[in-house]
Chain A
Amino acid sequence: MVKTIRVLVAKPGLDGHDRGAKVVANALRDAGMEIIYTGLHQTPEMIAEAAVQEDVDFVGLSILSGAHMTMFPRVMDLLKEKGAGHIKVFGGGIIPGEDIEKLETMGVSRIFGPGTDTREIVEYIRKAHDDS
């Protein structure tokens, strides 16, 4: 039996805009994945801890406050520290193009901008999961 893909959907930082996170969580669940949603106002420490405890394959971060250049690297560093560097980190939010390039260079697996079709996210996760 194929193991179900597990995804942690997380809202790091202080912003409370959870529409996107919840829509993505619903879409991934409808695509047959197991979704753990952290709730709001999470620190990178809380997110990395939850990712390890829940033994997820992916962490999806949603940030609309502009704090992405702080939050993404922090979560990835903490995952590595906890020996969970294999967990792929992706995300979305209000993130300018040049920051997307920088984040992807730092090892963020994918950034999805506004207007992304959720099927594109499902497809990315399935493919990235098969590749690993």
Chain B
Amino acid sequence: MGRRYSADPKQVRIYHEAGGRPHDRRERDRPTVTGMTEPDGWSDAALAGALFAIDPAGLGGVSLRGGAGPVRDRWLALLRGALTAEAPWRRVPHNIGDDGLLGGLDLPATLRAGRPIAQRGVLTAADGGVVLLAMAERVSAMTVARLAASLDEGVVALERDGLALRLPARFGVVALDEGLAEDERPPAALLDRLAFHVDLGLVDPRMGDTLSVDGAAIAAARARLAAIRVEPEIVDAVCATAMALGIASLRAPILALRAATAIAALDGRPAVTAADAATAARLVLAPRATRLPEAAQPEQTDPEPAEPDAGPENEQQDDQQPNLDQPLADIVLEAARAALPPDVLARLLSTGAPQRVRSTGKAGAVQRSLRRGRPIGVAQGELRMGARLHLVETLKAAAPWQKLRHIERAGASQPPETPRVETRRVEVRRGDFRIQRFRHRSQTLTIFVVDASGSSALNRLAEAKGAVELLLADCYVRRDKVALVAFRGKGADLLLPPTNALARAKRCLAGLPGGGGTPIAAGLDAAALLADAARRAGMTPIVTLLTDGRANVAADGSFDRARAEADAIAAARRIRAAGHAALLIDTAPRPDERTSRLGAELGARYLKLPRADAAGLAAMIQETARASAPASSPRAAA
């Protein structure tokens, strides 16, 4: 706990309680942090929770990475205790629909009352409290966009089912990120808006006691929050730190300043101090770092001494020249740098280029919740098997006739044995049924598996890249998703997870170096994993392998031509057995039967590169897609 949070422990009152029931869960198989325990992990996590509880809507939220387990439960209990008892606490499943999230027409109530009654969605119900987003790593871009709109505006703009409302929705989000792989993270659009990115994997799960936070202290801090001053130098220092760490979004320094304000409020200080800013930088900025600070600020090492403490009064709007080199910025930056997560550090040191966070959620929810097709409107129809009744539209169809039908019914029921129909009851007849129509087109994911080995590079890596570009253009027309796997040397890399952003695919490809062995088996295995995931998400994957077929690195990475070829064939058979469609583009200058044999084992359509002109390739891949789309039969109910 070297650079510790400087708060007076009496005031913060994070204290130890007698431990709860010991959890007899199995040890979490988290990556060990070089054997040492991380006491800072939990105290920072707890501090983030306490600060979040002070200002949930202002700080946006917490991304809580780590599977379900005692540590997460403890953290959530801590947060619950820190919030006021009446603060809403709403769980949102990752595949929630618009009705549930935003609200809509409350049909039972509407029918009872005979006038439209609105039903609140989770976001409005959570006003003043916290939204718990389950499985945030799988949440769809759609859901995130709706959450983001409410986080930004503090309201839910509801324009649904004949309702037009703006309802207050000031809430904070706890994104429960259960992702395991590096790229399995909540969408960037969400992370950008959440102040704290807490990794519970850094917390020792065998902690003896439960930590708790004093709700009264939090409440007092909340009351003080608005009065806390932030000097302009603090703003400058936080901005400089964010920039030095390579954080592009301007939301990050804004959130860090709010966190610093909450820290000062918690400690009962009237203004944010340098130490508060440093702590905030550690909590908010460090997890967002994309580069090491040294490389970023050679121009800031001007030794020109700056006025250390300019009063707040002489800080004018026009006075835009911040003191870049004042020591304050260094203090804040140092705190952030010291807290860079170890993996970030390693990654930055080894490659210098950070891996960008995926911008949309792991393929899942969009496809899954809309998997039944793209809604293309509503039509009159029969309630046959599988058809989905659109209740609101049905009600609307029935509504104009109610008066008439009641009169009609009253006239027809002359015999007194028929019970009187309540006039308020809405009479729906068969002709009123409105059916939601969908157009179902299973989205295609084209997985390019590109051979970037030395032999391929010699042969025609450039031409293979050209061929992929042709295919990409075709994908663009059909708005397919693409993914890019490259294999060379000892293994395969997922260069681009499934995405719509084809320009990124092209950039990835352009920067792809060639050289090394030919581990076809590794490439195919990586593609098979992706294809399986895509199919689970309801997409139709097509594996497109570009290689010259001279496998010489076995699945285990050893250099053995015979085993390499056997492994490649085994991998190909697995893909074929899984039923994934495949296409093999032979890039060899003199194609031989080894490659065509691999193609046969893969169950792939086989194409030699010399023939692979734009039209031929496009036709081929389309044919492959059509032939292999078992789940994509058009389904239009009604």
Q: Do A and B come from one complex?
A: no
Q: Which B positions have Cβ atoms within 8 angstroms of A?
A: none
Q: List chain A positions with a Cβ less than 8 A from chain B.
A: none
